[in-house]
Structure 1
Amino acid sequence: MNKAFASQADLEEKKVSFTRLSENAYAYTAEGDPNTGIIIGDDSVLVLDTQATPVMAQDVIRRIREVTDKPIDYVLLTHYHAVRVLGASAYGARHIIASQDTRDLIVERGEADKASEIGRFPRLFRNVQSVPPGLTWPTMTFTGKMTLWLGRLEVQLLQLGRGHTKGDTVAWLPQQRILFCGDLVEFDATPYAGDAYFRDWPQTLDNIAALKPAALVPGRGAALTTPEQVAQGLAGTRNFIADLHASVQAGVKAGKDLHTVYKDTHAALKPKYGHWVIFDHCLPFDVTRCYDEVTQYPDPRIWTADRDRQMWQALEG
């Protein structure tokens, strides 16, 4: 292989930031590594996306304990990817919440995804032996909308449409106009779209924009703390998805095979997005999924560790 597989060569530790958005909302970010959100209510805490292992989750818990001693009663899985969910056991939450679509994806492809992601990005699965056997299962699911009341604090859990996956969930604090959106939005980080719905994603971003967030925590990248920054994050994600989709569509229309479409799309997007975190990791998966959607697979195919390697060798070998 000409390039190191996925992110296996990414070994540099990232600097963690713990950003206060309001008296109730914090963002745990790390220079483009997966983010975690924290919502502190009157009587309990909700954590959104857990980090990849229980040992890594301990650093989130340590920072939570610097600002509150309230129990962490709720964990929200914004989607099913292993890097977001396998640290859940560390929090001792009473409830693990996910959309029903996310639970369905865990049933269908959770084991395959777990093996796939650990192979792609070993640094993000430090102390992977601390993950309990089996998968992370929701104890509570919903469809469309669910409202939690953390005392007087209203937390709306919303499915605003498909994008990054079919199960994407956001958490919205309507009283403060703060949004936690998982990997539906990234900031200065490449969207991973290997399980995406390219045709749906732009409308889902429009639905996010319609909430008019004053602040937004993306799946990767710094917390966006002003409406202007929120607009930049939405625009950057939308432009990447649109540019990639347009390139793949043009290649398919011209009768080009996947390998050629990938090379053309990489050349087209590299000048504009190549400086974004994990660009070279994501793009082979993103183009493969988009090519699938444009040609014959309306729903994402399951990634396995073997399929990852075969795809990478075909496109990058």
Structure 2
Amino acid sequence: MARKFASQGDLTEKKISFTEIGEGLWAFTAEGDPNSGVIIGDDSVMIVEAQATPRLANMVIEKVREVTDKPITHLALTHYHAVRVLGASAFNADQIIMSDAARAMVVERGQEDWDSEFQRFPRLFEGHESIPGLTWPTTTFSDSMTVYLGKRRVDIMHVGRAHTAGDAVIHVPDSGVMFTGDIVEYHSACYCGDGHFGDWGDTLDAVKYFDPEAIAPGRGDALQGREMVDAALEATRDFIESTYRPVARVAAKGGTLKDAWDAVRASCDEKFKDYAIYEHCLPFNVARAYDEARGVDTPRIWTAERDIAMWEALQG
């Protein structure tokens, strides 16, 4: 029996958790749905990740208002994906921050990604009528930038390619806390359809270099304490390597995409089948890994039409 496309069968609302991971630092998580972060400064607030719609963004705002009445002035976006950015208008922030590379991806493929993800995640896009359009940053950076929320320093950095070419991490040095977006996941599959497998491990090393005491990952529970942080970093690394290595072997022998699919299932199913969005991600991950193993550095643009064709070829 064919599986329902992507997450179209996942229509159950998730339980929201709002976890303090450092002084004035919070992780908004929802059982494997996209996470957001909150950084409370002396006189204002930075949000990390805007959610998929203003409806979902307002759920984040409701949690923020439980702990502070300071104005939300900054919105930092770790990458360009629709489920992370299209709720931005709800925050009415003075600055919307992305890396230069992430903005370039909005230009190149932002509308296609919106159309694609709308089809993949119907539950997350309930209330989509309130989305005013693509989210554009007001401020961009190449390698790094620093924002001061009063005396509180927030470093926003591009430390390497991983989930996308434009990934950013947000580091709050006074608390040793980092918001990593989808570079790091916890008990959730990594989505690698726009990923760079060959770089991902080095980017995880760059995150580990900061020795964070806590991390708000892209999906899954907040990571508190170095033991939990290290375990999540290594599990993410294992997921990436367990996906790419069998595909690379297949590609080196001239095997087909379907051969690569079978090899990844043999490598990953036993370890990761219970992870959130695992079956959703798997075909996109195999397709991207197969391209990269054959020398395609820039991920091909996913469209709603390409999504369906690939899904039918692999998951159908």
Question: What's 1:170 paired with?
Answer: 169
Deviation at 1:263, TM superposition (A): 1.9
Residues 54-95 of structure 1: CA deviation (Å, up to 9, x unaligned): 011111101101111111000011000000000000001011
Question: What's 1:86 paired with?
Answer: 86
Question: What's 1:20 paired with?
Answer: 20
Residues 140-185 of structure 1: CA deviation (Å, up to 9, x unaligned): 0001110001111010001110000010001001111000000000
**How far apart, in 1, do the equivalents of 2:139 and 2:47 lie?**
15
Question: What's 1:114 paired with?
Answer: 114
Residues 253-309 of structure 1: CA deviation (Å, up to 9, x unaligned): 222100121122113210011010010000100010010011131110000000000
In structure 1, stretches of 5+ residues that fail to align are none
Residue 156, structure 1, aligned to residue 142, structure 2 = no
**How far apart, in 2, do the equivalents of 1:244 and 1:21 lie?**
31
Question: What's 1:56 paired with?
Answer: 56
**How far apart, in 2, do the equivalents of 1:253 and 1:102 lie?**
31
TM alignment of 1:285-296, pairs within 5 A: 285-296=284-295
TM alignment of 1:1-317, pairs within 5 A: 2-132=2-132, 134-317=133-316
Residues 77-129 of structure 1: CA deviation (Å, up to 9, x unaligned): 10000000000000010110000000000000000000000000111111111
Aligned alpha-carbon RMSD (Å): 0.8
**How far apart, in 2, do the equivalents of 1:23 and 1:243 lie?**
36
**How far apart, in 1, do the equivalents of 2:61 and 2:4 lie?**
33
- Whether the aligned pair in 1 keeps the contact of 2:43 and 2:150 (CA below 8 Å) is yes
Q: SS of 2:47's equivalent?
A: strand
**How far apart, in 2, do the equivalents of 1:210 and 1:268 lie?**
29
Q: Give identity over the alignment, percent.
A: 50
Query: TM-score normalized by structure 1?
Result: 0.98
- Whether the aligned pair in 1 keeps the contact of 2:23 and 2:175 (CA below 8 Å) is no
Query: TM-score normalized by structure 2?
Result: 0.99
Residues 26-45 of structure 1: CA deviation (Å, up to 9, x unaligned): 00001110000000000110
Higher mean C-alpha deviation, range 87-96 or range 266-275: 266-275
Once superposed, which parts of structure 1, at least 4 consecutive aligned residues long, lie more than 6 Å away? none
**How far apart, in 2, do the equivalents of 1:298 and 1:69 lie?**
45
For 1:118, give the aligned amino acid: F
Deviation at 1:22, TM superposition (A): 2.2
